[in-house]
Structure 1
Amino acid sequence: MAPVTIVTGGGRGIGAATARRLAHAGHDIALCYRRDHHAAGTVLADIHATGRRGITVAADTSDPDQVTHLFDTTAGTLGPITGLVNNAGLTSPIGPFTDVTLTDLRRIVDVNILGYLLCAQQAARRMTTGAAIVNVSSAAATLGSPGEYVHYAASKAATDTLTVGLAKELAPRGIRVNAVAPGIIRTEIHTLSGMPDRAEQAAARIPLGRAGEADEVAAAIAWLLGPDASYTTGTVLRVAGGL
């Protein structure tokens, strides 16, 4: 039986690259997205082109009822869930912490923290031995991102703690929980944060001398979900070019 993996935030960036890579690796995919039907449909077509099964489910991961719907739909259509990539997240305009609005603070907490908790909880309730969760964190969790988005960094530090604690709690059931911590990756998130050329600007301060690509992060996620990582749990794997 093929693995069945939910990828949240799967319509673009790291989520889309991960969904495509996992499909090539033999996973059936439930692609969770929030708004962009066209982008999700494009990724779904690529999944089907590999010969794997796939569905799209529109859901706001900060809403518990929509998260339950996501997991119910996946299990009812594709079968028992064996993997979760907790990826749906957002940031807000780059700038000093003192300028961040209450609206942006609440949305970061709702999506990046509460959304991850809700999805991880549903996964933990349903998964059995051999299943795995990968949370998408950020190098910002340990760097702090001063002058850019301290609040986003704080939300990703919460992701790291979730990963370590849940890994220990679920280990006796044979369920692994890990995270990847990307550095500066070429995705649309920089445009959404108001600095579309941030990846290029940051290249000089990255030890490897360049920004990363979404597929490089997807490769790490795929490894953590796969059998080669069978003795790896509670790990935050940094994919950040040396940052």
Structure 2
Amino acid sequence: MSALAGRTAVVTGAGRGIGAAIALRLAADGARVGVHYGRSAEAADAVVARIRDAGGAAFTFGAPLGDAGDTDAFWEAFDTHADGLDILVNNAGILGEPVPFAELTRAAYDEVFAVNTTAPVFLVQRGLRRLRDGGRIVNISTKFTHGIRVPELLAYTMSKAAIDAFTASLAKELAPRGITVNAVGPGVVDTDMNAVRLATAEGRELMAGQSAFDRVGRPEDIADIVAFLASGDARWVTGQWIDATGGALL
């Protein structure tokens, strides 16, 4: 029997990159996957088509995160497809414009926090009545909260540091229900978010050099870690930040 057979999972921002890879992996492990999108229904539909072509089960639903009423709209859309949830992966996030601290605007700061921090917190809060006992919550964090500092990404780093704190506190809160809560911190991964840095051979070589394996991460590298955390094998792991940088912090 597949590891996640009979489970329902939701991955936010699952139309591309790491989110798409996570959705594909969880479906391959037997979960019925809700492929959430913010604005690109076409990309989410393509992920669902790939899952179904491989014999899996999935559905799409849309709700822009970071807007007023986003969490209510999210769960209302989800409720039209399922009556409960076992796995929630908070993947959706934005990097924000890299700028020196002196040029950081309140609007840009607020936007990053709205999507990266506020939305996941209240998605979980409003979703708890849907999340079954023994469930899994996985938050996608970043290497920037653990030893690597990029001042031009201050708002992004702060937003993810808040998610790390949320992960640990929520793990304690939900442990009596057998629900685990963990965070995964990717390094440089070959996604649209890093497209500019990886656009040239020189840039790719520089980014690859950050890893002990001397290569850029793939979305599947992160998805496989999330799949473990979503499985029964990770029942004794909670409140943790998992280094998924390929050794960049060594």
Verify same fold: TM over 0.5.
yes
Deviation of 1:66 (Å):
3.5
Q: CA RMSD in A?
A: 1.8
Deviation of 1:242 (Å):
1.2
SS in 1 for 2:89: strand
The counterpart of 1:231, out of the listed 221, 225, 236, is 236
> Which residue identity does 2:241 align to in structure 1?
V
Deviation of 1:55 (Å):
1.4
Deviation of 1:36 (Å):
1.5
What pairs up with 1:84-233 in 2 under 5 angstroms?
84-143=88-147, 145-191=149-195, 195-197=197-199, 199-233=204-238
Q: Residue 190 of structure 2 contacts residue 198 of structure 2 at CA under 8 Å; is this kept in 1?
A: no
**CA distance, structure 1, for counterparts of residue 204 and residue 152 of structure 2:** 14
The counterpart of 1:18, out of the listed 22, 26, 30, is 22
SS in 1 for 2:128: helix
Structure (1/2) with the larger helix percentage: 1
SS in 1 for 2:213: coil
**CA distance, structure 2, for counterparts of residue 157 and residue 169 of structure 1:** 19
How many residue pairs end up in the alignment? 241
Q: Residue 87 of structure 1 contacts residue 135 of structure 1 at CA under 8 Å; is this kept in 2?
A: yes
| Residue segments in structure 1 that go unaligned for 5+ positions in a row | none
| Residue segments in structure 2 that go unaligned for 5+ positions in a row | none
Q: Residue 86 of structure 1 contacts residue 116 of structure 1 at CA under 8 Å; is this kept in 2?
A: yes
Q: Deviations over 1:40-81 (max 9, x none)?
A: 111010121233322111112224633233324334423311
Deviation of 1:199 (Å):
4.6
**CA distance, structure 2, for counterparts of residue 214 and residue 229 of structure 1:** 20
**Structure 1 residue runs of 4+, over 6 Å off?**
none
| Residues 22 and 181 of structure 1, relative CA distance in 2, 3 Å threshold | same
Deviation of 1:196 (Å):
4.5
**TM-score under structure 1 normalisation?**
0.92
Deviation of 1:179 (Å):
1.0
Identity %: 34
Q: Residue 188 of structure 2 contacts residue 194 of structure 2 at CA under 8 Å; is this kept in 1?
A: no
